Chain A
Amino acid sequence: MELPLKGIVILEFSQYLSGPCAGLRLADFGAEVIKVERPKGGDAGRRLSIENLWVDDSSLLFHTINRNKKSITANLKDPDDLRFVRQLIVHADVITHNFRPGIMASFGLDYASVQKINPRIIYAEISGYGKKGPWSHKPGQDLLIQSISGLTYTTGNAKDHPIPFGLAMSDYLCGNQTVQAILAALIRRHKTGKGALLELSLLESLIDFQFEYFTTYFQSKKQPKRSEISNGHPLLGAPYGIYKTSDGYIAIAMMPLKKLNAAIECIELNKFTEEESFKKRDEIKAILSNFLLTDTTAGWLKKVQKHDLWIMPVSDWNQLIQSSTYRALNIEQEFLAGNKKIKTTRCPIRYNKQYFLSDKPAPKLGEHIDEFKREIVK
């Protein structure tokens, strides 16, 4: 398929996850994404590994986030290198960066300066906490943003510590919202010829993520409360949550208690009215927790099958990848990095029944600098 963003050039000054995961998506859509990295070490994400897994000089983690991109090196404090970068900017469509506020300006690469050499540029910047205010210079690290945003009081049970999401929620979401903004700005530019400044922050992304909670909180003035047992979502009543069975776990979403009772025959549930499913949810969940221990996951699923209830087994990845649903998704793809075959996931969006696939690995630091120097000379 002809890729929809073919011909779009993106200069990625971003590091780690937030900006780079935006670049990855745009690369899969067909844009040419050029990482602009410092000569010593490059994107700090190259040195950040999980499980100590390495592909070459760079970690598997870096390869996961930066496949399908190119790399040039530039010391932005060096006038020659900066001149080269400014020449590239003349030919670019999009810039992304996630430096702390003020850094790009210190190189003379803030939006106002860049706009002078390329008025059509779409300039997307990601900060931790916005550019104003007392937090603007704090480190924009995911766990800290989660902690400040109130998010950690949504997960886990009432008596637990605040529990963070076990993935980099703010980085990932903000990067994905940056993609939305860049695409919308490209659409406007096509009609008007006008570039755009797009500003996002990890904190605003996480507040937006919790928009249902904030809206409810603004009306009720009450901090949402996690349930004592099997908390799934603090705004929802029983039975919503995950429960242990005699050999595993099942997830039970929202449903009338009566319907649940008809399927699993838990007589004790009879004494609760529908209206009590929120007010007495701890009591109801306690009864359910004990009751569900009396049969296996498969046993319960069989009992509820003909009742069309919102119930599913809880899987780990090994169970998941054996399901026919997972296999039918074809979510895995491979690329060759060094001499190693690396398996990763593909872009989750299908376009005219086709997947966006790419077998291009992440670039070596500065791998494409000669290519672009030659092009600029031309």
Chain B
Amino acid sequence: MKLLEDILVLDFSQFLSAPSASLRLADMGARVIKIERPVTGDICRELYVSDTMVKGESTIFHAINRNKESFQADLKNANDLNAVRKLIKHADILIHNFRPGVMERIGLSYESVKELNPRLIYAYVNGYGDEGEWKDKPGQDLLLQAVSGITWLSGNDQDNPTPMGVAVADILAGTHLVQGILTAIYERLTSGKGALIEVSMLESLLDFQFEVLTCFYNDGNMLPRRSCINNGHAYIAAPYGIYKTNSGYLALSMGNIPQLGKLLGCDALLSFTDSTDWFNKRDKIKTILQDYLNNKSVTEWLDILGPADIWCAEVLNYDALVQEDGYKVLEMEQEVSIGNQFLKTTRCPIRVDGQILKSPMGAPRLGEHTESIKREFDL
């Protein structure tokens, strides 16, 4: 039996945050029905990125929405809304990520759908919570990164604030939403009661920073200081960072500086015997290291450091990574079908009972399952 077999999810959400949650639920065995508005559907269908599309829709949409069904409904139309309300009676989970107030206006607030289905788990993501000066601001990933303070942690000291180049607020909010939903489903098994689960992208990014924020709360509100060069983590001593060699890049994490100097044959590092200097003088140490590491290739350095069990790795891009046996053995790739076409994407990262979780079902066409769902549930 799949972990989440027989669980029905109605997903009203768009873009990435909450849809990434329903993707995870689908991969663990739940049935996910996207409720999409006519004509455009999930706006993400039209979110063209760079120049890569599949069947006229963005690859990103297909990555996020594989393994889901699509039910088209105009929530401002009484008949459609009625059908959706009927469907809600059969659902275990309802997900949305509208701005505050939208579901209330449609008549699908938690209070009103709870009457239809008291066992329903009603879960939503918003940007900034329900109160305060930003509550109606767009819950967009870069903007959340900007206000959360997280942009002061990556890049070097003189750089502009540097956002993380993946939609980290969206993905973490989706991850936390799944945690809340599944906890509530588990609790419902004994209590029979539904629940309301709320996650904001801002809280998710604060939780992601929980270690360094706790530091900030208890050190008299000192702001993080990125190292001037080769910054890897604002709070960690040298050598932590990525270094250029004369061919390729080398990642070095924690290590004893004189020992590193000895192994590399870099005499200038031998005098840093006081370990508190590894933090206090990290810019100086990193500068020495960077100059020195330019003398050889990453492979040559790895041949020296690897056998000594120094924590290091070659920095790979996708072209290099996908060639590696260490990547291939993971079997992270899967193909899903979209009509008569196949799309290669990644799979769920969780293995259950020794099995990887795959599903060949691609993202649905807008409204692809409207009729069959109407018949099935007699809507």
Contacts and interface: CB of A to CB of B under 8 A. Distances in A.
B147 interface: yes
Contacts of A214: 63, 318, 332-333, 345-346
Interface string B162-202: 11111110011001111110111111010000011111101
B36 interface: no
Given A219-B54, A328-B132, 9 more contacts: A60-B214, A162-B315, A165-B154, A181-B28, A196-B3, A235-B60, A242-B146, A242-B163, A325-B128
Contacts of B166: 151, 154, 209-210, 212-213, 233
A161 B230 contact: yes
Main secondary structure of the interface of A (DSSP, over half): mixed
A371 B326 CA distance: 44
A325 B318 contact: no
B161 interface: yes
B175 A163 contact: no
Contact of A350 (B199, B207, B354): B199
Interface string A307-328: 0001111111111110111111
B294 interface: no
Contact of A345 (B133, B213, B314, B350): B213
B253 interface: yes
Contact of B321 (A133, A150, A185, A314): A150
A251 B243 CA distance: 29
Contacts of B63: 211-212, 214-216
Interface string A165-201: 1111100111011011101111110111010111111
Contacts of A342: 214, 218
B145 interface: yes
Given A205-B349, A312-B137, A133 B326 contact: yes
Contacts of B200: 329, 348
A220 B50 contact: yes
A353 interface: yes
6 contacts: A52-B276, A156-B154, A218-B333, A250-B146, A253-B141, A352-B195
Given A323-B147, A324-B133, A200 B351 contact: yes
Contacts of A291: none
Contacts of A320: 147-149
Interface residues of B, number: 146
B363 to A, nearest CB: 11
B179 A183 contact: yes
The 4 closest A-B pairs by CB, nearest first: A154-B165, A325-B132, A166-B153, A133-B329
Interface stretch (A95-103, A138-146, A256-264): A138-146
B308 interface: no
Among A181, A215, A232: residue with most chain B CB under 10 A? A215
A166 B104 CA distance: 39
B28 A344 contact: no
Interface stretch (A32-40, A72-80, A82-90, A223-231): A223-231
Interface string B26-66: 00110000000000000000000111101000011011100
B21 to A, nearest CB: 9
B202 A325 contact: yes
Nearest to B130: A328
A203 interface: yes
A104 to B, nearest CB: 15
A223 B134 contact: no
B133 A351 contact: no
Interface in B274-293: 276, 279
A241 B235 CA distance: 25
Contacts of A204: 330, 332, 349
B151 interface: yes
Interface in A42-65: 50-53, 60-61, 64-65
